[in-house]
């Protein structure tokens, strides 16, 4: 499909995270930047202020590995589906550039629903790495996979009981507990939740 560049030869590019689905940033690219992205597999953009092509993360190490490039229906905007290598896309040090609402309030700590599983696993992985005192995650990790699996089983049974009782509010509550323990088990075993979601994606016909 033919791309539609503006009068300056630029096209807006949204960087969307492959794992979480979050919008990491918005930038612009010219044809050469897109060609370099395709050639190297890493996101390149065009800086309107510096008037030159730049590779995201070349100085900071915050590289963006491009998994896929998508084009919108009019051909005048792109999405780079990316993996943010050090997890901070914004020059301010935030994970993405859209960390405030219109009131100026800091909102990035509360993930949107579609981000939750990947973002929660990030937190769990950090707890497993540092094992902070007072952390429930660290406590279970110290007790081992058998204890984690036991807790997952208990929460699964409680979810099933709520389903049988048709108590929808309790189903939601217990399902959240069950998913947390499931994610903890995955993390303990070194499995990224993305691997499970990719397996599900393969099953779409």
d(CA 93, CA 2): 35
Percent of the chain with pLDDT over 70: 100
d(CA 176, CA 187): 16
pLDDT at 44 (0 to 100): 98
The verdict on pTM exceeding 0.75 is yes
Q: Which pLDDT band holds residue 46 (cuts at 50, 70, 90)? A: very high
pLDDT at 7 (0 to 100): 97
CATH numbers and ranges of domains, the chain: 11-84 (3.10.20.810), 113-202 (1.10.287.1080)
**What confidence tens digit (pLDDT) does each residue in 62-81 have?**
999 999 999 999 999 999 99
Contact by Cβ (8 Å): 82, 15? yes
Asked if residue 205 has pLDDT above 90, the reply is: no
Asked if residue 1 has pLDDT above 80, the reply is: no
pLDDT at 194 (0 to 100): 96
């Amino acid at each position: 499909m033919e791309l539609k560049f503006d009068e300056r030869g630029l096209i807006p590019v949204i960087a969307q995270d492959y794992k979480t689905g979050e919008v990491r940033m918005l930038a612009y690219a010219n044809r050469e930047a897109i060609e370099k992205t395709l050639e190297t597999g890493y996101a390149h953009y065009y800086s309107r202020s510096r008037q030159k092509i730049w590779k995201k993360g070349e100085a900071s190490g915050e590289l963006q590995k491009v998994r896929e490039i998508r084009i919108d229906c009019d051909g005048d905007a792109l999405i780079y589906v990316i993996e943010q290598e050090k997890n901070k896309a914004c020059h301010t040090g935030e994970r993405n550039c859209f960390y405030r609402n219109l009131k100026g309030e800091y909102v990035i700590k509360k993930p949107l629903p579609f981000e939750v599983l990947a973002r929660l696993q990030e937190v769990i992985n950090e707890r497993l790495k540092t094992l902070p005192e007072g952390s429930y995650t660290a406590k279970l990790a110290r007790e081992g996979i058998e204890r984690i699996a036991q807790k997952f089983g208990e929460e699964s049974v409680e979810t099933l009981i709520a389903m049988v009782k048709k108590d929808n509010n309790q189903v939601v509550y217990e399902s959240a507990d069950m998913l947390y323990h499931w994610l903890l088990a995955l993390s303990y075993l070194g499995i990224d939740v993305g691997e499970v979601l990719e397996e599900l994606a393969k099953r779409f016909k």
